[in-house]
Structure 1
Amino acid sequence: MSMRRVNVIILVLLAIAFLIIIQRNLLNLSDFLHKENPDAGMILPFESELSPTLKKEPVRKGDEIPVLITAAEERLGATVAAMNSIYFNSKANVVFTIVTLNDTVEHLKVWLSKTKLKNIKYKILTFNPEILKEKIPKDPKTAEAAKPLDFVRFYLPTFLPDAEKGIYVDDDIIVQGDIRELYDTNVKPGHVAAFSDDCDLASAKAIVRGAGNQNNYLGFLDFKKASIKKLGMRANTCSFNPGVIVANLTEWKNQNISQQLDHWMELNTKEDLYSKTMAESITTPPLLIVFYRRHSTIDPLWHVRHLGNTGAGNRYSLQFVKAAKLLHWNGHYKPWGRTSAFTEVWDKWFIPDPTGKFHPVRRHAGDK
């Protein structure tokens, strides 16, 4: 080997060694700066190239946006998917309040701490079903509908005691827009909450009718009962869906909304006020009574519903579903179940359970 070639090899090796030394020095400088100011969240320009895992999520600024969601053990994957979609589609300072039952707390904590949701702001609260004693029917036919966590929305100020305004969402939703837009929904003076009217779209009326004629008050309340008659409500008034609520919590407390809802629940156990043609909800009727013509409205794109009803969800075009800010699989068919419309949208936000307890039924069946 010629002396010239040896010199070239030596120069190349020296150059490589020099670059390695520079890289290590830069990384040591980065570690030093982080130790000196660990809360600053500083990311040096070269960090994302040399060590992608060190890249931090941008700090979320602005007022907190309280979002309340429930977490039932058998539907825990739904709660996680909904939270994932809300958080990562927004740059807002979202703070979750997750209400569950005692036997689900540990499972939920593991799911959040072992996945990419570990850095979100949240608190877990438990719901005591005893609060519903003497307020819901004992009829075994309604037992399936009387799930304790469905009534959490009746007591929003209890679970969000420090918030002046908040959002409630069912677990079977996916958010595709910035949740701040929903939070900024105008709740008119004197109103306590905003809901989506079931007649807010021309297409929605046909879809709801196809799902069981549940788009007016007559579908939920028995207008032959004296207690309902004397309220003077019109039976053909358009109903609303309480799966998404934007609430003025200060006004909620001032108007004693939770106590009013309790009153109508208790009265129903004595007088059977709900319509016999009602589908499955026993939480909607008290809300319809208390908020009769006293609620504001949510932008229709912020609550596109009925994706879980037979055939109804399939009537939406793919373009419309993509444009929707919030999708709701209300109805019997859930996107983690065997069959549902637009399951691929839900799948995008589902995070596998690190404990292995929860599996989307269709996916689990296909894996075997």
Structure 2
Amino acid sequence: MERWIILNKLSVILYIALICIYNEIPNFSWVLFALLVYFCINISLYLIKNTNLIKFLLILSICLIVYSNLKIQPLFFLLLPMSIFEIVSFFISKKWISWFLSLLPIFHLHHSLQPIYGLITFVSFIVFSIVDLYSTRLRFKEDQIDRMRSTIQKLSKKLNNHSEFMEQSEYTFKLEERNRISQEIHDKIGHSMTGALFQMEATKHLMGHNQEKALELLQNAINISKDGIENIRLTLKNMKPPTEQMGIHHMKLFIDEFSAKHDLKTLFVYKGNLDLITPIQWKIIQENVVEALTNTMKYADATEVSIEIYVMNKMIKTNVKDNGRGKVIVKKGLGIIGMEERTAAVNGKIIVDGQDGFSVTTLLPIE
């Protein structure tokens, strides 16, 4: 916006030069020289960043104007208003004071110059006020952007720290789980196998001279081994999560990732006994949901999509429905054909409806 101030000063310089040429004043070369010096000083104002140096150049510019007015040409006083506005703004924020100070020289001018001086003062004040207002707003926006950038950096740092904490927590949890399993195997299964081994070693030594005792020890070893095998089975069973938890967990994880990645409101509802869904049915449900959501993103222009899984008496119903533009006549592509083939492999059925938005329903029989 400084270019408007420069343009204002340049307009006054050209006006002074043209008046001097039109009146054919004898010392025009000195007028031209003084105007060039003034222009160079004022251009330098917008090339430097040091505030003290800017103030010095403004004072120097005012001194040049006053000297040129007294010694060279009275028209130089027309350059004074903008310089007064600029220098006063460094010390006083109230614009009416700079307006008052810029009008004081009008009483010392020849009456023929007073109207043009007043007009230039008014125009310069308007230009300077607009530039000052714009600069203030620009600085405010820049400060706001800097604050936002700082906040984003802090949030990014916290997010990175949180990610590192999650990774470390996951790694620690895995180590703790491995340690727990190792300790459980050592305490429950290791002791049983060691006891059985001792019984069988004793049986080997008694086989020759005390067969009855040897058979008793052998039976004890068998019983201990059975208990150990049962402990192994129970330990592995407790470690393995239920099928329905694995299926619903994978589904929730996928939907959360999909919702975070795409600008699409995603709703997920499930009801009924999820224990009745087999692993192969979970796999088909997951693949069909993925394919339906992919088609929604590609073709539907939707803002919301819902995924529903209902386990009924004799059937598992999975429905994916969006609020997009839909399609009266549905042309089956490779995606829908693939869903139908997967579902038919377990005696299921696919229903596609494009009347109100677009929906894909997967029906699977309960075994």
Normalised to the residue count of structure 1, the TM-score between the two structures is: 0.24
- Give the structure, 1 or 2, with the largest relative contact order (CA under 8 Å, sep 6 or more): 1
Larger Cα-atom Rg: 2
